[in-house]
Structure 1
Amino acid sequence: MQPDETPRRRRQGPVTLRGKAIPSTTTDQRLLDSRGPSDWVHTDPWRVLRIQAEFVEGFGLLSELGRAVSIFGSARTKPGSEEYELAERIGALLVEAGYAVITGGGPGIMEAGNKGADEAGGVSVGLGIELPFEQGLNDHIDIGLEFRYFFVRKTMFVKYSQAFVVLPGGFGTLDELFEAITLVQTRKITRFPIVLVGTEFWGGLVDWIKNQMLPSGKVSPEDIDLIHLTDDPEDVVEVIRRAHETQERELEERAAQKADARAGGNGS
């Protein structure tokens, strides 16, 4: 094979490029050359840095939050409505039980949860999202952060919440609900309480799961137990409190068993 017949090849960090895939300029040239179009700021590699920055910002902001519960529900719920006042009450009760309250930061149920937490003297967190129809963060938030990417925002909800409280809502609420159920069901995260508030609103969905998904084998009987359905705000907090007390006892028991095993091994 003649030299000019040898396939062209270039290494760029961990990447190997050949033939037409090799760019006409080097990485350094594209970084340092300020001339030409600015399309590069919209490319996928640049988006990775933006995504990374959102994770870093979220982790840094929430790492010392302490125990917290996320409240989800419709942004269309009006102040003064029964559902709004219910979410407000739940936010206040969660603070009284020692939890911070996290919401999506917008209006409706989110605003109500933040308002209840704020007026009860607790920590009120809003994790907003950039949308074509601008909502902005509500006025009852102590710690607020707006994300570009839904999946980064979802990670923050799951990472820093010890329970999910889900009031009536639309597609976004359903998305958060079923992602939480899936993560707990598949044990991708430690099991935590998922409470649906509103028996009339959610009852049909729960019945469908029991009467359609369960008999056809799409879910297991124990999966149904991942969801607690109620109308009572005090019951919401009690379900969460009991679940966390059980988890703490189990952790203490496992720690004691490990300590006994180590002591037994040393004694032998």
Structure 2
Amino acid sequence: MAADAPTPPDRPLARSLTEDELLFDRFATDAERQRADALKISDSWRVLRIMGEFVWGFDNLASIKDGVSIFGSARTKPDERYYRDAVAVAQLLAAHKIPVITGGGPGIMEASNRGAKEAGGQSVGCNIELPFEQGNNPYLTKNLLFKFFFVRKTMFVKYATAFIVFPGGYGTMDELFEALTLIQTGKVKSFPVILFGRTYWEGMVDWLSRTVAGAGNIDAGDLTLFHVTDDAEEAVRLVLDARAKRT
């Protein structure tokens, strides 16, 4: 007896699938796929669209040198401590002529772009097409809208020499652990990965130390791939110290 066909997941009505969904989602309906010519949305033709987005991203960000990518929750409000801390970190980076790169949305992204722009620095937003638009924050000197998450994530790594990671959710964790994996596996040269907010991150750090390293799934040395701080000046000093060692 043949296995039952999987049931398509529920979707909100009145929206189109994103490019990532069309690429990976086998539950896309005929109506959803008919929004473009059949040839142009086939997997083989979509490769060209992906290539084009890489080229477009590289061209638009070519002027960004030695930036710092800052990540964190889109839900952080302006009256919260970490919003103010992100503004302060970005202001210090801008004072050292270091471009600030974020996902271009609200919350920590907005705070970081705000600090950079208000300090007269380069404030870059690499936003993403989502089922429901998060929109650009108003503090960008350069903004790009990507269709594919993996293209966008490449830009965060390629044009930055450090990551500063504020408290956040799944998206923030995704960026954090991808960076640590790239460094651990030698796919990129080591660069500072700074976790901002000791209270927020201490549970994860303890889990990595006791459970993951304790089980032998990472080495003790892998726990040195990131730094934890509560201080804006220390975070920026770690970035500057790493730069000095490269020159």
Q: CA deviation at 1:116?
A: 0.2
Q: TM-score, normalised by structure 1?
A: 0.77
Residue 103 in structure 1 maps to residue 102 in structure 2: yes
Q: CA deviation at 1:38?
A: 2.6
Q: Name 2:12's counterpart in structure 1.
A: none
Alignment-mate amino acid for residue 198 of structure 1: G
Q: Name 1:245's counterpart in structure 2.
A: 244
Alpha-carbon distance between aligned partners in 1 of 2:100 and 2:37, rounded to the nearest angstrom: 41
Q: Name 1:152's counterpart in structure 2.
A: 151
Q: CA deviation at 1:47?
A: 1.1
Q: Name 2:93's counterpart in structure 1.
A: 94
Q: Name 1:132's counterpart in structure 2.
A: 131
**3-state SS of 2:106 partner:** coil
Contact 2:65 2:160 survives alignment (8 Å): no
Q: TM-score, normalised by structure 2?
A: 0.84
Residue 55 in structure 1 maps to residue 54 in structure 2: yes
Alignment-mate amino acid for residue 79 of structure 2: G
After the TM superposition, which residues 124-203 of structure 1 pair with which residues of structure 2 at under 5 Å, given as runs?
124-203=123-202
Alpha-carbon distance between aligned partners in 2 of 1:47 and 1:143, rounded to the nearest angstrom: 26
Point out the structure with the larger helix share: 1
Alpha-carbon distance between aligned partners in 1 of 2:165 and 2:130, rounded to the nearest angstrom: 21
Q: CA deviation at 1:137?
A: 1.2
Q: Name 2:38's counterpart in structure 1.
A: 39
Alpha-carbon distance between aligned partners in 2 of 1:178 and 1:243, rounded to the nearest angstrom: 20
Alpha-carbon distance between aligned partners in 1 of 2:92 and 2:100, rounded to the nearest angstrom: 10
Alpha-carbon distance between aligned partners in 1 of 2:115 and 2:187, rounded to the nearest angstrom: 31
Alignment-mate amino acid for residue 194 of structure 1: V
**3-state SS of 2:161 partner:** coil
Alpha-carbon distance between aligned partners in 1 of 2:97 and 2:206, rounded to the nearest angstrom: 33
Alpha-carbon distance between aligned partners in 1 of 2:190 and 2:94, rounded to the nearest angstrom: 22
Alignment-mate amino acid for residue 143 of structure 2: G
Q: Name 1:256's counterpart in structure 2.
A: none
**3-state SS of 1:127 partner:** strand
The more displaced of 37-46 and 94-103 is: 37-46
- Structure 1 residue ranges, 4+ long, deviating more than 6 angstroms after superposition: none
Alignment-mate amino acid for residue 175 of structure 2: E
Alpha-carbon distance between aligned partners in 1 of 2:120 and 2:185, rounded to the nearest angstrom: 36
Q: CA deviation at 1:41?
A: 2.0
Contact 1:128 1:146 survives alignment (8 Å): yes
The more displaced of 218-227 and 39-48 is: 39-48
Q: CA deviation at 1:180?
A: 0.2
Alpha-carbon distance between aligned partners in 2 of 1:195 and 1:175, rounded to the nearest angstrom: 15
Q: CA deviation at 1:98?
A: 2.4
Q: CA deviation at 1:97?
A: 2.0
Alpha-carbon distance between aligned partners in 1 of 2:93 and 2:206, rounded to the nearest angstrom: 28
Alpha-carbon distance between aligned partners in 1 of 2:232 and 2:158, rounded to the nearest angstrom: 24
Alpha-carbon distance between aligned partners in 2 of 1:54 and 1:138, rounded to the nearest angstrom: 22
Give the length in aligned residue pairs.
Answer: 212
- Larger-Rg structure: 1
Q: Name 2:15's counterpart in structure 1.
A: none
Q: CA deviation at 1:232?
A: 0.3
Q: CA deviation at 1:151?
A: 0.3
Tell me the alpha carbon deviations over residues 83-138 of structure 1, each in whole angstroms, 9 at most, x when there is no partner: 11111111111111221000000000000000000000000000000001111111
Q: CA deviation at 1:66?
A: 1.2
Q: Name 1:20's counterpart in structure 2.
A: none
Contact 1:97 1:237 survives alignment (8 Å): no
Tell me the alpha carbon deviations over residues 179-219 of structure 1, each in whole angstroms, 9 at most, x when there is no partner: 00000111100100000000010001001111111122111
